Structure 1
Amino acid sequence: MIPPTFDYTRPTTVDAAVRALADAGEDAKVLAGGQSLLPLLRLRLAFPELVVDVGRIPELRGVREDGDALAIGALTTHHDIVHDPLVGRHAGLLAAATATVADPAVRHRGTLGGSLAHADPAGDLPAVALALDAELVVAGPGGRRTIPAREFFVDYLQSTLAPDELLVEVRIPKTDGWGFHYEKFHAVAQSWAIVGVAALVRRDDGHITEARIGLTNMGSTPLRAAAAEQALSGADGPQAVARAAEAAAEGTRPSQDLSASPEYREHLARVLTRRAVLTAAGMG
């Protein structure tokens, strides 16, 4: 389909982008990699009066170390994240999960910030951001503020970003020494995950001392499997992990659609959590 008409601007600084968003109010949309916005425009599910293309703002790209965290520019592409040595060394879960996103063409254009700002619970990276305890830095007319990932996603395709704010950076605490794995189930290659599980595990003397579990497509937002995380504390083998994984769907509200029933998604959450944790813990 042909998108509706709209005005277009391409600022070259964050300040100029924020001014354009502030002037347009709720009638503007941000264009980053375009892998989420363009389909919405073509299907006429979005009707912006102004599209603000931030693709030429250099400060929004790249990965750098900042103490105990990595600071990743919002425009850093999936491809660059997969191949960045700092991400591979200090945030392996992010690299591993990003490598499963769609196909190479999408990964060369899609961006980390665009994926998170889109706030699709079926997207792979929002759940990963939750498991990593990421923080999102946004710029607005009043300056910059930092939002924990656990507070960023508020409903289906909705985040705490104000209409005049721009996501500029994602801060990922380093997880050196943690085991990790991203496990997802999808009906066909390159499709959205029916359910996905992002697992981070820390072990000591053969026991799991801490686990973080992010769930993809188990509600209107990405979720943490808090009950399973608690049950995994002290788990010392595959049977203990399997018992703890039975709690993975507690507190979730998976949707009913053509791909799966809520009950099937709950079953997948339990199975995939067991697999992801066993692999992350080196017990698989």
Structure 2
Amino acid sequence: MFPREGGRVKPAVFSYLDPRTLEEALGALADHGDDASVLAGGQSLVPLLNMRLARPEVVVDVNRVPGLDALRVDAGAVRVGALVRAAAVERDPAVAGALPVLAEAVRHIAHPQIRSRTTIGGNIAHADPSSELPAVLAAVDGAVVLRSAEEERTVGWEEFFVSVFTTAREPEELVTEVVFPVRPELEFRWVEFARHHGDFPVAGVCLGLSLADGAVRQARLAATGVGDRPLRLREVEAALTGSVLGPETAREAGELAGRAVDPPSDVHGSGDFRRAILATLVRRTIESWPGQAQRGRKGAAA
């Protein structure tokens, strides 16, 4: 089925470029456009090359480009350079202190060996609709910084993720930074269901709540695995706002989340299965939230 040589799957022939400056990398992308693929961690691109599902004429390896591996945490955001490895985010105490849900979600990505190579920029740019990090980016209203030889622009998550493996990045652009805003007024949780540890989730949710006397002042809910891109479930957010957390609120929110999505069916499960998993994840996450009342009811936040 796939071309093999010596018993191993081999990629089609391509030219390899190894730029040592950002300007060289951007120049290569400007020269080759759609014929070029960017190599960072290689955890997605290399298998695609080997199976010949990707056939670029040129591979631009950005691993030796300085300045793309900066991880900065300030009062406003966690700013992750494109080459920062997932393992670095997972272990960084400043990230854990500023936005713990980001480190929590990263711990669900595959296995430690994979996380040691996977880059945050590559994960976001790949735009897998079942990936964890795009959903976290959606929940915190994050953005992606794109650079070309001509300009730099910052694109919000909703504009950046277009469809399955498709983003707003132009062929001559490079993802240079991913910005996860810090939302101190919200407490976030990441929860997912995968068939096996390290698999992509069948469904996952990033839920953020701000409570006062058990009542929800603000809610953020993003989901992965149930659409062609990360989804913000704004109907559920609106329904939760003003509610007092409890079993009934959790049940209603889960049911609403299930009705709000139209997941595809694939080898991992039917659309109805993914919808049911999502509803259960939302319900159980709310049920386990600290500081809630014994019985859910509607009411204005105190």
Q: Deviations over 1:25-71 (max 9, x none)?
A: 10000011011101111111000011111111231112213551222
Q: Distance in 2 between matches of 1:117 and 1:187?
A: 25
The residue number in structure 2 matching 1:259 is 268
The residue number in structure 1 matching 2:168 is 160
Q: Distance in 1 between matches of 2:168 and 2:68?
A: 20
**Contact kept? 2:255, 2:279, Cα under 8 Å:** yes
Which of 221, 224, 229 is the equivalent residue of 1:221?
229
**Contact kept? 1:40, 1:46, Cα under 8 Å:** yes
Which of 106, 110, 113 is the equivalent residue of 1:98?
106
Task: Report % sequence identity.
Answer: 38
The residue number in structure 2 matching 1:83 is 91
**Contact kept? 1:245, 1:273, Cα under 8 Å:** yes
1:274 counterpart = 2:283 = yes
The residue number in structure 2 matching 1:118 is 126
- One-letter identity of the residue aligned with 2:256: A
- One-letter identity of the residue aligned with 1:19: G
Give 1:46-61 correspondences, 5 Å limit: 46-61=54-69
Q: Deviations over 1:92-143 (max 9, x none)?
A: 1111000110000000000111110001101111111101111110001221
**Contact kept? 2:253, 2:282, Cα under 8 Å:** no
Range with greater deviation from structure 2 (230-239 or 62-71): 62-71
Q: Distance in 2 between matches of 1:224 and 1:29?
A: 29
- One-letter identity of the residue aligned with 2:275: E
Which of 19, 25, 31 is the equivalent residue of 1:23?
31
Q: Distance in 2 between matches of 1:100 and 1:219?
A: 19
Range with greater deviation from structure 2 (175-184 or 15-24): 175-184
Range with greater deviation from structure 2 (12-21 or 159-168): 12-21
The residue number in structure 1 matching 2:5 is none
- One-letter identity of the residue aligned with 2:284: R
Q: What RMSD, in angstroms, separates the aligned Cα atoms of the two structures?
A: 1.6
Which of 181, 193, 215 is the equivalent residue of 2:201?
193
The residue number in structure 2 matching 1:151 is 159
- One-letter identity of the residue aligned with 2:217: T
**Contact kept? 1:198, 1:276, Cα under 8 Å:** no
The alignment partner of 2:242 has SS state of: coil
Could you tell me the TM-score, scaled by structure 2's length? 0.90
Which of 210, 213, 221 is the equivalent residue of 1:202?
210
Q: For residues 283 and 100 of structure 1, do their structure 2 counterparts lie closer, same or farther at Cα, with a shift above 3 Å needed?
A: farther
The alignment partner of 1:200 has SS state of: strand
Q: Distance in 1 between matches of 2:286 and 2:34?
A: 42
Q: Distance in 2 between matches of 1:249 and 1:16?
A: 47
Unaligned ranges ≥5, structure 2: 1-8, 294-302
Which of 1, 7, 13 is the equivalent residue of 2:21?
13
- CA positional deviation for 1:277: 3.5
**Contact kept? 1:73, 1:113, Cα under 8 Å:** yes
**Contact kept? 1:36, 1:118, Cα under 8 Å:** yes
Unaligned ranges ≥5, structure 1: none
Q: Distance in 2 between matches of 1:230 and 1:185?
A: 25
Q: Distance in 1 between matches of 2:49 and 2:261?
A: 31
Q: Distance in 1 between matches of 2:135 and 2:73?
A: 22
Q: For residues 121 and 251 of structure 1, do their structure 2 counterparts lie closer, same or farther at Cα, with a shift above 3 Å needed?
A: same
Which of 12, 21, 43 is the equivalent residue of 1:4?
12
